Structure 1
Amino acid sequence: MNWEKWRSELRAATLSAFDEMSAGLKGEQLYAVSLQTDDGAMTVGLCANVEEGYAERMAAEADEFGAQEAAYNRWAPAEWRYEMFGDEVFDTLNADLREAIFDPDCDFDAHFSHLLDAMADALAHLRAERGPALENVTLFVTISDSDDTEAVEDRYATQLNPPHLAQAFLQRYA
């Protein structure tokens, strides 16, 4: 797999999906954006949430949520209003990932490492290109349904965000 070419295409897809999603916000307050993959490293997609989406979720299920559940709902892309937004923008990239992973010569650990780094690069590029829109927005890379999720999120949140946003994110489950 040509990771440099794929990384460039991921940057473009991330910008495209973000622009489409943000155009529909209608004044809602964005607070988090992530790129998410699965632990099989075969997909990538944009996820985002807004304060209004979080508040609606909390109000709808208020009786069921304690502090841990509230933190989970705030920071887990599976609970967000814009989970895997703009899937069609990532279709070709995801096909490339699946093709690479099923190659008999694929070194899975190297593949997964390249994928996570490319996702972080795309988010860094997003912040550089859309800075004012992301001023108080936490960016991070995540993996759905993985034992490594929290460590991966912490690593990339520290790398991608200004210290005040990174520190708040790192304390999300405290």
Structure 2
Amino acid sequence: MDWIAVAGELQAATVAAVDMVSSKLEKQRLYAVCLQTADDGMSVGFCANTEESYAEKRAAEAEIEDMSPDYAAYLRWTPAEWGYEGFGDDLFADINRDLTAASAAVHDDFALYFDHLIRAMTDALAYLRAERALVLDGVTLFVTISDSEAADAVERRSVQRLNRSTLAAEFDQRLG
């Protein structure tokens, strides 16, 4: 797999997705953007959330469940709970088709394939940060793996690389 080409495609799709989501926000304040994959490495999805969407989700959940600090942090930092989970999937369709084929074809060293994918996702967000610095001022960027025990380590590494120390510290405190 040509990981330089993959990184370039992810960069273009990620910038286009943040531009699309930004155009829909009106007066909402974006606070987080991530790229997400699964343990099979067959696709990448773009996710984003706003303070307003988080407040709405938190209020709705508080009506049916106790809102402990841990649960509030879960709602704030888990892309499956966000207002813009899987946003702009069409922008990632071509790269995801290639990733699906490549992931299925990897037999000998899936761990190396997956490391390359995580690096390409992180590089795409670093590129995004550089290209949209004003729009993303104060926005936490990270890479995650849905429903995976490896997610925490990947998130922490990417947060440290992609964000200034105050944003990274806020993210690291999410679960105490």
TM tier, smaller: over 0.9
Query: Structure 1 residues 104, 57: CA separation in 2 closer, same or farther (over 3 Å shift)?
Result: closer
How is 1:21-170 mapped onto 2 (pairs within 5 angstroms)? 21-63=21-63, 64=65, 65-105=67-107, 107-170=109-172
Q: What is the TM-score normalised by the length of structure 2?
A: 0.96
Write the letter of the residue equivalent to 2:51. E
Once the two structures are superposed, residues 112-140 of structure 1 have per-residue CA deviations (whole angstroms, 9 ceiling, x without a partner) of 00000000000000010000111100000
Secondary structure of the 1:27 match is coil
Q: What 5-or-longer segments of structure 2 have no aligned partner?
A: none
Secondary structure of the 1:102 match is helix
Secondary structure of the 1:132 match is coil
> 2:106 and 2:77 mapped to 1: Cα distance?
36
Q: What is the TM-score normalised by the length of structure 1?
A: 0.97
Measure how far apart 1:106 and its partner are: 5.3
Secondary structure of the 2:135 match is helix
Query: Structure 1 residues 104, 147: CA separation in 2 closer, same or farther (over 3 Å shift)?
Result: closer
> 1:115 and 1:127 mapped to 2: Cα distance?
18
Write the letter of the residue equivalent to 1:13. A
> 1:116 and 1:6 mapped to 2: Cα distance?
11
Q: In percent, how many aligned pairs have the same letter?
A: 53
> 2:117 and 2:86 mapped to 1: Cα distance?
16
Query: Structure 1 residues 160, 17: CA separation in 2 closer, same or farther (over 3 Å shift)?
Result: same
> 2:106 and 2:70 mapped to 1: Cα distance?
42
> 2:45 and 2:107 mapped to 1: Cα distance?
25
Measure how far apart 1:105 and its partner are: 4.5
Residues matched between the structures, number:
174
